[in-house]
Amino acid sequence: MGQPMGLRLIEQNVPLIAYNRTAAKLQLLQEKGAIVTNSPEVAIKAADCFILMLADSAASEEVLFSDASRPYLSDRTFIQMGTIAPTESQRLHDAIVAAGGEYLEAPVLGSIPQVQTRELIVMVGSTEEQFNRWFNLLKHFSPEPIHIGPVGTAAATKLALNQLIVSLTGAFGLSLGFIERYGVDVEQFMQILRQSALYAPTFDKKLSRMSDRNYANPNFPTKHLLKDTDLFLEQARELGLNLNSLEGMRQIVQKAIDLGFADDDYSAIYSAIND
Ligand SMILES: NC(=O)c1ccc[n+]([C@@H]2O[C@H](COP(=O)([O-])OP(=O)(O)OC[C@H]3O[C@@H](n4cnc5c(N)ncnc54)[C@H](OP(=O)(O)O)[C@@H]3O)[C@@H](O)[C@H]2O)c1
């Protein structure tokens, strides 16, 4: 996600310094005009705003709070756009504010194609004033970034949406497997489903991948879906919600990873349901 987001900023003439620990992954951004570095402190020192789009909260902490980066955190704004837990986001906020910086969370719904068409749904957890100040920057990714509330609320909203990704995909995969095993015509089943209140557009988006067992070239890999499922389970357990169904789905996502689909499209959970 970081690369297409960086490309989008370059297209919009936003001056960009791009960091990745793996230099090879910066090549395209460099060719398109970004200054690139594999030292986070170089980017933090040079910019007034640092967008974090890393795998998880541990990665963000590693990048920000090394001895080399820490001295440059003051008077900078950090916008964390990956999917992390509300408590992790609050911890990042507190550590950045303690170091003299500012922090917003702005997780996104949508994937690489929506970055390219500026159709991400950007949900912001921050003060009203911070939201207004950074609105135009966030508008490069979304027609209308949404202010949810203080830090933690946007992270919670994002996890609630990703819980639907895993549960809807698993529920559809189970019905599809049932239909396939019974030898019922899949297109006829889909026609009925599409007319019904049970239909969700994600079913058609994943149907051909599931039918063909083709999970290559993912926008969102299975390993990140497992991460988000675990984040949701951890937070929801503390809230006392009944998690029986999601715990079952977690086992299915883990099985897909055990089958070797960690870096493939998350619709690979179909192979864990109907192999
Ligand atoms: N893909 C999507 O459709 C999508 C949609 C919405 C939200 N998200 C969320 O956005 C975040 C990024 O997703 P992605 O799909 O771009 O993931 P990705 O392709 O796996 O990229 C993760 C990035 O984090 C870096 N990273 C990991 N650990 C690090 C560490 N310890 N220190 C420094 N850098 C580290 C990786 O560096 P290397 O390149 O060196 O490995 C890579 O640049 C995740 O939280 C994901 O859940 C993804």
pLDDT tens-digit map of 187-199: 999 999 999 999 9
Question: Going by CA atoms, what residue is nearest to atom 16 of ligand 1?
Answer: 1
What's the confidence (pLDDT) of residue 116? 94
What's the confidence (pLDDT) of residue 253? 98
What's the confidence (pLDDT) of residue 103? 98
Q: What distance in angstroms lies between residue 85's CA and the mean position of ligand 1's atoms?
A: 15
* CATH 1.10.1040.10 residue ranges for the chain: 155-273
Q: pLDDT band at residue 73, thresholds of 50, 70 and 90?
A: very high
Q: pLDDT band at residue 129, thresholds of 50, 70 and 90?
A: very high
pTM of the model: 0.96
What's the confidence (pLDDT) of residue 130? 98
* CATH 3.40.50.720 residue ranges for the chain: 2-149
- Pick from 270, 217, 219, 225: nearest CA to 250: 225
Which class in CATH covers the domain with range 155-273? mainly alpha
What's the confidence (pLDDT) of residue 208? 97
Residues of the chain with pLDDT > 70: what percent?
100
Q: What distance in angstroms lies between residue 180's CA and the mean position of ligand 1's atoms?
A: 35
What's the confidence (pLDDT) of residue 65? 96
| pLDDT tens-digit readout, 163-187 | 999 999 999 999 999 999 999 999 9
What's the confidence (pLDDT) of residue 42? 96
Q: What does the pLDDT average to over 19-34?
A: 97
Q: For residue 184, give both structure tokens.
A: 């019922």
Q: Is the CB of 82 under 6 A from ligand 1?
A: yes
Q: Measured from the CA of 25, which atom of ligand 1 is nearest?
A: 39
Average pLDDT of the chain? 97
Q: What does the pLDDT average to over 209-217?
A: 97
Superfamily covering domain 2-149: NAD(P)-binding Rossmann-like Domain (3.40.50.720)
Q: What distance in angstroms lies between residue 214's CA and the mean position of ligand 1's atoms?
A: 22
Q: For residue 170, give both structure tokens.
A: 């698993």
